[in-house]
Amino acid sequence: MTNRIERCAPAGACSAKIEANAMPNVSQPVEPVSIAVYNPLMAANGREIERKFLLRGLPADVSRHPSVLIDQGYIPGTAVRERVRRTQDGSTLRYFRTIKVGTGIERFEFEEETTDTFFVAVWPLTEGHRVRKRRYMVPSGGKTWEVDEFLDRHAFFLAEIELERADESVTPPAEIAAVIVREVTDEPGFSNYRLSR
């Protein structure tokens, strides 16, 4: 028995609506990341093909996998939105600026690494549009599942996987499959921009 997940059409046909208490507006303290590895999967200046899943909780033993602490914010815009991100890998900080175009499973992405000077300069512009999360990297089947634990609200978790083709089926590892509520790839409300605060 496998946990293969096929794409559903139309969007939202696979499951019911999210429960009202799945995203309460409660913050919690941020714990330090002691051992972490950050390996960006998304190639700069290319297509991003990604599927996203709502989780009811963290997968079992996910803390044994590498993780990073992420602070990201969005610079206001209408036609173009730019994201700036700081990642903490142990004591190492890295900074990125990213522009994504499109919605749903396949988008264009333009990303480059930048400096702390740039990040500090533009970070105030992102006030009210920020996300803080811990990202766990879970290898499975030659790919890496990214499990996000949102630290700026209570008990909210997402999993993402980057694919080579939009019609590619995925088989989540058992520990992730056990906590999947539903796929939310095509639901704009689950984009990090819409989740930012």
| pLDDT single digits (tens) 166-187 | 888 889 999 999 999 999 999 9
Cα 111 to Cα 99: distance, rounded to the nearest angstrom: 6
Residue 49 lies in a domain: yes
Contact criterion met (CB below 8 Å) for 73 and 147: no
Residues whose CB is less than 8 angstroms from the CB of residue 53 and which lie 6 or more positions away in sequence, other chains included: 5, 158, 159, 160, 172, 176, 180, 181, 182, 183, 184, 185
Instruction: Tell whether 25 is covered by a domain.
Output: no
Q: What is the pLDDT of residues 118-160, one digit of tens each?
A: 999 999 999 999 999 999 999 999 999 999 999 999 999 999 9
Number of domains in the chain: 1
- CATH for 50: 2.40.320.10
Which has the minimum average pLDDT: 30-34, 92-96, 187-191?
Answer: 30-34
Q: How far apart are CA 35 and CA 12, in angstroms?
A: 37
**Average pLDDT, stretch 64-78?**
94
pLDDT value, residue 100: 77
Q: What are the strands, taking DSSP E only, across the chain?
A: 46-55, 67-75, 82-89, 92-101, 106-114, 130-140, 143-150, 157-162, 180-183
Please tell me the pTM assigned to this model: 0.75
- pLDDT score of 22: 41
Please write the tens of the pLDDT for every residue from 100-123. 776 666 667 788 999 999 999 999
Cα–Cα distance for residue pair 107/193, rounded to 1 Å:
14
Residue among 130, 157, 192, 169 nearest 53 (CA): 157
- For residue 106, is it within any domain? yes
pLDDT per residue as tens digits for the range 3-52 = 666 555 444 444 433 343 443 343 444 343 332 333 344 444 577 789 99
The two tokens of residue 196 are 């930012």
pLDDT at 43: 42
Give residue 170's domain range.
Answer: 31-195
Note the pLDDT of residue 140.
94
Domain-located, residue 9: no
Q: Tell me how far apart the alpha carbons of residues 50 and 146 are, in angstroms, rounded to a whole number.
A: 11
